[in-house]
């Protein structure tokens, strides 16, 4: 039986279920480029991963997987992005630069497949939110070409907390209540992950002086919703999500541990929101595969692809980070003294007479 070499870090249902009649088992070599890219206008540099997969009956698949010369293309590959305006008019093109991500601080996860080097294709120009980008990949030796295209996700507004309000905004969430987060759906976005970044400080309380010493500012991320679909919502449409109080306080309970020193104190200061929006192709990929993607994982499931002539996915992504908002007095009191989180060294609000203790 022929061995199928698939790109480093990729998970293919073909590999799971065995050989398929889609491949000519009498051929000595069948090249299949595998593309993974999410184009994000909020970052200065975007990277696209392109590996190759093929059938080979003379070399063991694990041996091929460990050889970077087998899973990566060399200089024979040209990678280009063309960009078109909203009317479909050609606006220009740029060739992507072949780079080793390992030397740029983007290491690839270790495993069965070669992880050094970590070949990526770099696009350093600014992405225009009003353009559609078409990826053209050509193997100049074999003549093999693959294509894909994606619109770029537009900026959008977080409505609650209201970033444009002239009045102070604060985060209020009680142990048995909820906080309603809201935003306007971004143009060309279809799926979101939303994270609350909790800012806090911890250090030692000195009862004799009432001062804190050795205070250190820290933060912890809580992804409270994953794969929130807005595929049926239009651009600018208001989207709300209720952040449940029990889930918030249980997150704190499960991620902080009590310090036996009674004078070790944590102060819950504030929170901000981080939104990762994905395009329609990314949404479809998630629907088909139920997979978790990351630039370093580069996972691709054979069941869905928007790459003509190959496998993989090209889609849009947009990362939006909100301002930082303080917790309300009541929320600080609850974090410090609720039955769920009491004992985790969190202090109530400074207005509490027994501060930094609950009683």
pLDDT tens track for 220-274: 999 999 999 999 999 999 999 999 999 999 999 999 999 999 999 999 999 999 9
Contact between residue 56 and residue 5 where contact means Cβ atoms under 8 Å apart: yes
Tokens 């040209």, located at residue: 78
Instruction: Mention every residue, 6+ apart, whose C-beta is less than 8 A from residue 41.
Output: 126, 127, 128, 129, 152, 153, 318
Mean pLDDT of the chain: 85
The predicted structure's pLDDT at residue 287: 87
First to last CA, the chain: 73
Burial (CB count <10 Å: 0-12, 13-18, 19+), residue 310: buried
pLDDT score, position 86: 94
Q: What is the pLDDT of residue 20?
A: 30
d(CA 59, CA 65): 10
Res 37 pLDDT > 50: yes
Q: How far apart are CA 177 and CA 184, in angstroms?
A: 23
Label residues 312-342 b or e (16+ Cβ within 10 Å = b).
Answer: bbbbbbbebebeebbbeeebbbbbbbbebbb
At residue 102, the pLDDT reads 80
Burial of 163 per CB tally in 10 Å (0-12, 13-18, 19+): middle
- pLDDT of 30 reads 67
Q: In the structure encoding, which two tokens stand for residue 154, read together? A: 């537009």
Q: What is the mean pLDDT of residues 42-56?
A: 85
For residue 301, pLDDT over 80 is answered with: no
The region of weakest confidence among 140-144, 148-152, 157-161 is: 140-144
Give the per-residue pLDDT at 193. 97
The alpha carbon of 45 is separated from its chain's Cα centroid by a whole number of angstroms, namely 15
- For residue 266, what are the β-bridge partners? 202, 346
User: What gap in Å lies between CA 248 and CA 230, rounded to an integer?
Assistant: 23
Backbone angles phi, psi at 13, to 5 degrees: -65, -25
Q: How confident is the model at residue 101 (pLDDT cuts 50, 70, 90)?
A: confident
Q: Can you give the pLDDT at residue 118? A: 86
- 80 sits in which H/E element: strand 77-84
pLDDT at 304: 86
Domain boundaries along the sequence of the chain: 3-153+279-316, 158-277+328-337
Among candidate residues 178, 186, 183, the one with its CA nearest the CA of residue 160: 183
289 — pLDDT class (breaks 50, 70, 90): confident
Cβ-in-10-Å burial (0-12, 13-18, 19+) of 261 comes to: exposed
DSSP 212-277: EEEEEEEEEEEEEEEEEE-TTS-TT-EEEEEEEHHHHHHHHHHH----S-TTEEEEEEEEEEEEEE
Q: Which of 91-100, 156-165, 291-300 has the lowest mean pLDDT?
A: 291-300
What is the DSSP-derived secondary structure letter of residue 308?
A: B
- pLDDT digit string, tens, across residues 163-221: 888 888 999 999 999 999 999 999 999 999 999 999 999 999 999 999 999 999 999 99
Q: What is the pLDDT of residue 280?
A: 97
Distances (CA, A) of 97 to 37, 68, 128: 14, 18, 19
Question: Is the pLDDT score of 2 beyond 50?
Answer: no
Nearest CA-CA partner of 39 in 193, 148, 144: 148
Return the closest-CA partner of residue 294 out of 6, 3, 10: 10
**pLDDT of 25 higher than 60:** no
Task: Quote the pLDDT of residue 16.
Answer: 23
Closest CA to 316 of 192, 216, 217: 192
Per-residue pLDDT, 109: 54
pLDDT average, residue stretch 152-171: 95
Identify the band that residue 112 occupies on the pLDDT scale cut at 50, 70 and 90. Answer: very low
pLDDT band, very low/low/confident/very high, at 33 (cuts 50, 70, 90):
very high
């Amino acid at each position: 039986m022929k061995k199928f070499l698939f790109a480093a870090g990729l998970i293919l249902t073909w590999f799971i279920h065995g050989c398929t009649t889609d491949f000519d088992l009498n051929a000595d070599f069948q090249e299949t480029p595998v593309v993974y890219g999410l184009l994000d206008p909020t970052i200065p540099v975007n990277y696209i991963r392109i590996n190759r997969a093929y059938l080979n009956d003379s070399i063991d698949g694990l041996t091929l997987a460990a050889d970077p010369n087998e899973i990566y293309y060399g200089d024979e590959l040209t990678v280009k992005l063309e960009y078109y305006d909203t009317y479909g008019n050609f606006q220009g093109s740029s060739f992507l630069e072949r780079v080793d991500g390992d030397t740029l601080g983007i290491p690839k996860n270790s495993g069965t497949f070669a992880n050094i080097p970590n070949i990526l294709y770099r696009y350093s120009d600014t992405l225009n939110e009003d353009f559609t980008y078409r990826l053209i990949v050509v193997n100049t030796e074999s003549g093999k070409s693959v294509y894909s295209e994606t619109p770029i996700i537009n900026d959008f507004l977080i409505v609650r907390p209201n970033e444009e309000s002239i009045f102070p905004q604060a985060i209020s969430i009680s142990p048995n209540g909820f906080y309603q987060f809201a935003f306007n759906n971004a143009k060309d976005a279809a799926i979101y992950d939303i994270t609350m970044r909790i800012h806090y400080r911890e250090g030692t309380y000195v009862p004799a002086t009432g001062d804190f010493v050795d205070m250190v500012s820290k933060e912890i991320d809580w992804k409270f919703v994953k794969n929130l679909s807005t595929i049926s919502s239009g651009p600018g449409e208001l989207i709300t999500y209720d952040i449940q109080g029990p889930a918030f306080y249980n997150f704190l309970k499960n991620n902080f541990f009590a310090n036996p020193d009674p004078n070790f104190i944590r102060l819950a200061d504030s929170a901000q929101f981080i939104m990762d929006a994905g395009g329609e192709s990314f949404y479809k990929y998630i629907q088909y595969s139920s997979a978790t993607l990351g630039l370093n994982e580069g996972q691709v499931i054979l069941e869905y692809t928007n790459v003509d002539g190959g496998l993989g996915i090209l889609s849009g992504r947009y990362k939006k980070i909100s301002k930082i908002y303080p917790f309300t007095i009541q929320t600080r009191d609850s974090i410090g003294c609720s039955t769920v989180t009491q004992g985790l060294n969190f202090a109530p609000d400074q207005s509490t007479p027994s501060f930094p203790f609950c009683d």
